């Protein structure tokens, strides 16, 4: 077995064991059953080469005739040294690829999802922030995150649907972001990363708990998942939302200990 084959095999086993094995992605189950998951290793060690491969794979998924629905690709990137750091990898996938392909519209046809051994994006609240705490938070305007923040009070921290990833807040009637319009609802569920931590609590901010939800994306090697936007468009928004809520609930119930036990099996 070559190194490239090893990386493909390890990633495929992780896909079967984690997102499929825990039932986190019903669409991945369908894709796998139909043999539509394509896992490839990028043999190059530069970010620009990976971007070129991403472009080719998107073209293959979206432009070529005969590509069946739910076809998807995972590009494993074990050779780019700086991507051993999750933030560097995440930032490049978010904006670096777009910058490199800035004169190309190909990225409009696909959505890129990151997997990484050190994936860490979702945190719980800092120790001294909870129900009754008055905080500054961004708010939702027709489903979008506001540019400014507003004063609010936390009224719920562990919802059955969202687990610890979102908290319920009651906004005070103090919104002056007129250019953005008014807050949709005075009470909203907001992601914990929308909360702006006061200066005096910044030190505790670094100790906020890492949620087990992150383990859903902790693949063996840095990996870029390419999804055809036509497939995403065919899914009902309420079904996608339901899966996200169920996943958060499932991972909260498992906890880190349960995740480790599952991986050990």
- pLDDT tens track for 157-173: 887 767 778 899 999 97
Backbone phi, psi, residue 257, to 5°: -65, -45
pLDDT of residue 201: 59
CB atoms under 10 Å from CB of 93, counted, come to 24
How far apart (Å, rounded) are the C-alpha atoms in residues 261 and 255?
10
Nearest to 44 by CA among 78, 9, 92: 78
Work out the pLDDT band at 178, boundaries 50, 70, 90. Answer: very low
Side-chain half-sphere of 155: how many Cα atoms within 13 Å? 11
How far apart (Å, rounded) are the C-alpha atoms in residues 91 and 89?
6
What separation, in Å, do the N-terminal and C-terminal C-alpha atoms of the chain show? 24
Average pLDDT in the chain: 86
Q: What is the length of the chain?
A: 265
Judge whether 192 and 167 are in contact, CB under 8 Å: yes
Residue 226 has pLDDT above 50, yes or no: yes
pLDDT of residue 181: 55
Between 140 and 65, residue with greater pLDDT: 140
Q: In what side-by-side order are the strands of the sheet with 134-137?
A: 187-191, 166-171, 150-156, 134-137, 195-196
Average pLDDT over residues 54-77: 89
For the packed helices 3-17 and 26-33, what is the interaxial angle rounded to 10 degrees? Answer: 130
Number of H helices, E strands in the chain: 8, 11
Bridge partners (DSSP) of residue 145 are 140
Residue 222 has pLDDT above 90, yes or no: yes
């Amino acid at each position: 077995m070559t190194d490239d084959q090893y990386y493909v095999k390890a990633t495929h086993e992780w896909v079967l064991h984690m997102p499929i094995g825990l039932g986190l992605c019903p669409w991945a189950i369908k894709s796998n059953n139909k043999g539509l998951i394509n896992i490839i290793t990028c043999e190059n060690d530069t970010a620009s080469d990976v971007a070129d491969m991403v472009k080719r794979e998107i073209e293959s998924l979206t432009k070529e005739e005969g590509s069946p629905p739910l076809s998807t690709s995972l590009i494993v990137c074990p050779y780019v040294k700086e991507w051993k750091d999750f933030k560097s990898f995440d930032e490049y996938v978010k904006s670096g690829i777009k910058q490199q392909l800035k004169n190309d519209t190909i990225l409009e046809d696909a959505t890129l999802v990151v997997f990484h051994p050190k994936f860490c994006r979702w945190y719980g609240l800092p120790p001294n922030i909870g129900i009754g705490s008055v905080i500054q938070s961004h708010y939702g305007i027709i489903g979008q995150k506001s540019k400014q923040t507003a004063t609010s009070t936390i009224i719920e921290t562990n919802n059955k649907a969202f687990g610890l990833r979102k908290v319920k807040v009651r906004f005070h009637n103090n919104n002056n972001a007129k250019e953005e319009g008014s807050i949709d609802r005075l009470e909203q569920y907001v992601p914990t990363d929308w909360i702006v931590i006061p200066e005096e609590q910044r030190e505790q901010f670094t100790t906020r708990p890492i949620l087990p939800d992150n383990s859903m994306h902790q693949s063996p090697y840095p990996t870029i998942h390419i999804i055809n936007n036509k497939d995403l468009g065919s899914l009902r928004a309420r079904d996608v939302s339901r899966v996200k809520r169920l996943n958060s609930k499932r991972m909260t119930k498992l906890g880190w200990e349960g995740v480790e036990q599952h991986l050990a099996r």
